[in-house]
Amino acid sequence: MPAVLTTSAPEPIVYRVSMRAPASHEYEVEMRVPALPDRDRVDLVFAAWAPGSYMVRDFVRHVFGLEIADRRGRAFAPADVVRVDKQRWRIASAGRAFRVRYRVFAFEATVRTSFLDDSHAYWNGTSLFFFVDGELGRPCQVTVAPAKPSWRIATSLPPVTGRGAGRSLSYAAADFDELADSPFEVGTHARHAFSVGRTRFELALYGRTNADPARLVDILRRVVTATGRIFGGFPFRRYLFIVHALPVGSGGLEHRASVTMDIAGLSFEEEAGYVRFADLAAHEFFHVWNVKRIHDRALGPFDYTQECYTRLLWLYEGCTDYLAHVIILRAGVTRERQFLRMIADDWPRYAQRPGRNETSLEELSFEAWIKQYKPSENFTNRAVSYYEKGFWTAMALDLTLRLEGGGRRGLPEMIRWLWERFGRSGRPIADADVRAAAAAIAGRRLDRFFDRYVRGKDELPLPALLRRAGLKVVARAEWDDDDKPAGERDPVRSRRARAWTGLALHADRTTVRNVVPDSPAWRAGLTFNDEIVAVDGARVAAPTFARRIADHLPGAEVRVTFFRRDELQEANVRLSESPDRKLDVTVDPKAGARARTVRGGWFGV
């Protein structure tokens, strides 16, 4: 406890962001640290990672030209500024106020980094701002000086009235966490806004797109309305969608009162583009609750300097990914038919991943920092994305909750339960609270579910659960085309499609991306990066490899010629029958009343 309690607010740390030469992709940042009389030395620290993206990125590698000076601009003596490690400087400030100046190279156009050129400026706070160790709770203020008179500023931070010279504007953050959690878009982006109840939503849309902006706004309105219905309102008065329309989309990064989404700008020539946009928006917006407010101790307040381990990424990302699909269905963006098609297409892909049951969901979450985001060749065989496994586990949990409780209450209600008891008041959750939430919704403990599928490595019983929820699920061999109309069947092709090697090649080359353990190719000794050049003496390229394999039936032996470290080699591969399956998923007209109730609750009908 401090010896003296004062009633005045602490003096803020004040930042100024300038962009005088945008074509150089360098921000000039000034940071003014107020006098801290009880501190002889102060540690200036740069974040190693961006919350929401679980990989150490060492943002400090883009920092140049660091200068530390006193309030009047006189440089500190070299002995008073000691770099302690890659991201930490120890300043012998003797309690005095001081000024920090530096440049940040910003040329990485992703949601979690910073970018500057003569078309716009974007930053995510962890890649631009130093913080003072021990002073994360101190208020912050940031003044932004846009590069051009025509540029405007979008951020969820409230403006500080009467501050900022010329065209620059100032914004206030309650603390460093809020500053770091409030990305800025500065440029000539299009602006749109709408309200739901008394909450205002804004869209800042940068870049070239063939999307109809009115349709994007309508989708956002539907998504936030359907999500707000789950939680009984919104935990803010204002929310900002920053959307970058780029050549290639790369996803989003969630914040408490805003989001940045990078989408493929020219992908709206068909409805699928709008569905992808809706799905991404629903995912990111669900994070407003799930992970930004409902989270365990590791994920807030953050330790920005190193990995923060949690066993719950499956809850934060898997459940969010799954519920986004449910939300856009309930919002009327997609129809039931599309939802069932998604299951039919994506479940077999997951169910054929060799590593899906090799690592538990809890471990996949914990190790994300060092495995999923730094994958070795073997990742596919021994692990799987916690998003993907989390998605199917979330669906299985939703159906299990409904089957236990009569159908009407499921995973959305379980997340709301966590919101009411933890997120709303800022109390962190623990692993046991997730089980308690499930028990509260199901009416009984579901420890067996968590022990088997979250902590354990059992195969998810998804097809069986889907059937109990009133769906008809039929698995077929990949080559079986009986499901097609008679005129579209191709008996020659379906006869040929049975043989299997277990090899996956890179899409554009004939080098081996993966060999499924215990598959024919594995037993023949083929491995990662082998460059396949011929099958039975016939030259192959990436598109023809599968066709030459399909010349043979399961049981046949083929000679595969390949280069390994530039030496020509051969292996005899005895083909087996493809284990690949496809799925038909339809509404079961003969489902009983109970199954129909579960299905109705699930789809929100």
Residues that bind Zn ion (CB under 5 A): 317
Measured from the CB atom, is 385 or 501 closer to Zn ion? Answer: 385
Measured from the CB atom, is 89 or 391 closer to Zn ion? Answer: 391
CB of 235 to Zn ion, least distance (A): 18
Question: Cα–Cα distance between 246 and 250 in angstroms, integer?
Answer: 9
Question: Cα–Cα distance between 417 and 399 in angstroms, integer?
Answer: 17
Beta-bridge partners for 296:
429
Pairing mode, strands 184-187 and 503-505: unpaired
CB of 445 to Zn ion, least distance (A): 28
CB of 544 to Zn ion, least distance (A): 39
Question: Cα–Cα distance between 153 and 186 in angstroms, integer?
Answer: 5
Burial 553-576 (b: 16+ CB within 10 A, else e): eeeeebebbbeeeeeeeebebebb
Question: Cα–Cα distance between 261 and 342 in angstroms, integer?
Answer: 22
Half-sphere exposure of 408 (CA within 13 A, CB side): 0
CB of 256 to Zn ion, least distance (A): 14
Q: CB neighbours of 211 closer than 8 A, spacing ≥ 6?
A: 245, 265, 268, 273, 274, 277
Pairing mode, strands 199-207 and 238-246: parallel
CB of 295 to Zn ion, least distance (A): 12
Q: Which residue is nearest to Zn ion (CB)?
A: 317
Nearest to 581 by CA among 484, 463, 479: 479
First-last CA distance in the chain = 55
Measured from the CB atom, is 280 or 526 closer to Zn ion? Answer: 280
Tokens 């051969």 found at: 570
423: tokens are: 């997120």
Measured from the CB atom, is 125 or 252 closer to Zn ion? Answer: 252
CB of 181 to Zn ion, least distance (A): 15
CB of 148 to Zn ion, least distance (A): 33
Measured from the CB atom, is 89 or 302 closer to Zn ion? Answer: 302
Cβ-based neighbour number of residue 380 at 10 Å: 20
Tokens 């997609």 found at: 334
CB of 353 to Zn ion, least distance (A): 20
What is residue 112's three-state secondary structure? coil
| CA dist list (Å): 229 to 106, 241, 319 | 39, 19, 17
Pairing mode, strands 63-70 and 120-123: unpaired
Burial group, residue 604, by CB count within 10 angstroms (0-12, 13-18, 19+): middle
For 533, the enclosing helix (H) or strand (E) is: strand 531-535
Query: Do the Cβ atoms of 118 and 147 come closer than 8 Å?
Result: yes
CB of 411 to Zn ion, least distance (A): 16
Query: Do the Cβ atoms of 522 and 502 come closer than 8 Å?
Result: yes
CB of 586 to Zn ion, least distance (A): 30
CB of 321 to Zn ion, least distance (A): 7
Nearest to 52 by CA among 118, 114, 127, 112: 112
CB of 416 to Zn ion, least distance (A): 18
Measured from the CB atom, is 322 or 453 closer to Zn ion? Answer: 322
Measured from the CB atom, is 53 or 127 closer to Zn ion? Answer: 53
